[in-house]
Amino acid sequence: MAAPASPTNTSARPTLATALRQLAHGYVRKGGKQSRRKRVDRLCLALGWIAQAFPACRGLQQVGRKQVWQFYQAHSHLSANTLAEYGYAFRLLWELLGRTGKPPWPKATEESVMDDAQT
């Protein structure tokens, strides 16, 4: 017989990615579905990394600027375009959570945009 779900039972707690997919269900259903699915998938990957790096983050509301910056620092080896895609995915998270302002933007993409503008 299975034990009842308790606050200490981590298997009963939804993962960050599961919570995101539930929250983004309406977003994925409207508009350009392929790009929206890719953005949600990319955000799920990022949230998976955040969940491993920050075990104290137990809900989407606990993912903040600090976690996003740490993600960018750990993935600084990625191309500027890939980091920009993660930036757009984090913007989606902020929008879905109804947060004001914008999430941090990866510095590598800011530098490449400035270099492109000067040429």
Task: Return per-residue pLDDT of the chain as tens, 119 residues.
Answer: 444 444 444 455 678 889 899 999 988 888 888 999 999 999 999 999 999 999 999 899 999 999 999 999 999 999 999 999 999 999 999 999 999 999 999 986 655 554 544 44
Q: Which residue has the tokens 């191309």?
A: 79
End-to-end CA distance of the chain: 68
Residue 39: the pLDDT is 94
pTM: 0.79
Single-letter residue type at 57: C
pLDDT of residue 1: 47
**Residues 46 and 89 sit within 8 Å (Cβ to Cβ):** yes
| Per-residue model confidence (pLDDT) at position 30 | 86
Q: Which two tokens stand for residue 12?
A: 């009963």
> For position 109, what pLDDT does the model report?
63
Neighbours of 92 (CB within 10 A): 19
Residue type, 45: L
